[in-house]
Amino acid sequence: MFRKMMNKANAPVTENAKAPAPPNPAETAPATASEAVLPVSPTTLAPEQLEELKARAAQADEFWDRLLRTTADFDNFKKRAARDRQDAARYANESLIQKLLPVLDNFEMAQAAAQSAPAEGVQSLQAGIVMIQQQFKTVLSDAGVEEVDATGKAFDPNLHEAVSQQETADTPEGHVVQQLRKGYKLRDRLLRPATVVVAKKPAAPAA
């Protein structure tokens, strides 16, 4: 009995006893094409989707053209602004010079009148100079220029420039006893301080 069992165990494997074969891929494939996952291609898009893509592409081109035009316009604007700033700095005094030209004309006319009538030249020249001075002051006043007259006033270092001191009893100490040159302001800004001599108390006589 034991020999029969051993003989069966040592017997060669027959074809019927072979291991099962691996499954056939064709047998495991989906039965229909709808079951397969295929990549989407442009040919699979619907006509509505194609039209939408075309519309978006056209809109993108339009936006790009607008961006280019806007960039070009902005560059031109910067160039014009730079030129305007240069012109404004170069011709900032144009209106003031136009007002000063008649003053120059009057100077020339007064000079011509003094040369043509030597006997009355000095008097005519003096009257013409006074008129021109008033005209010139009017032009400066219209431009916002104001005189700084320090005569007899207390010394102010913000408006006056002291060049010396003078002992005097007629003017209070620390006040301007003499103005050598007028000062001028342009509205609230000092253009030139007034050059002055400041009074100080006379020294006591020696005992």
Q: What tens digit of pLDDT does each residue of 8-59 get?
A: 444 444 444 444 555 554 454 444 444 444 444 555 778 888 888 888 898 8
Beta-strand pair 176-181/194-200 = antiparallel
- The neighbouring-strand residues paired with 145 are 186
The whole-angstrom separation of Cα 106 and Cα 100 is 10
The whole-angstrom separation of Cα 31 and Cα 194 is 110
**pLDDT value for 206:** 67
Burial of 124 (C-beta count, 10 Å sphere; 0-12/13-18/19+): middle
Residue pLDDT, tens place only, 172-194: 999 999 999 999 999 889 999 99
Helices (H), 91-170: 94-116, 121-142
Q: Report the amino acid identity of residue 187.
A: R
**pLDDT value for 118:** 63
Q: Name the token pair of 54.
A: 């075309």
**pLDDT value for 197:** 95
**pLDDT value for 20:** 52
**pLDDT value for 105:** 87
**pLDDT value for 70:** 93
Q: What is the CATH number of domain 146-201?
A: 2.30.22.10
Segments making up each domain of the chain, as ranges: 50-90, 93-143, 146-201
- Give the long-range contacts of residues 2-5, CB within 8 A, separation 24 or more: none
Q: Sheet holding 183-186: strands in order across?
A: 145-148, 183-186, 189-192
Handedness of CA 33, 34, 40, 45 (dihedral sign): positive
The whole-angstrom separation of Cα 168 and Cα 166 is 6
Judged against a pLDDT cut of 80, whether residue 67 lies above it is answered with: yes
In the chain, the percentage of residues whose pLDDT exceeds 90 is 32
The whole-angstrom separation of Cα 52 and Cα 73 is 31
CA-closest candidate to residue 179, choices 165, 194, 166: 194
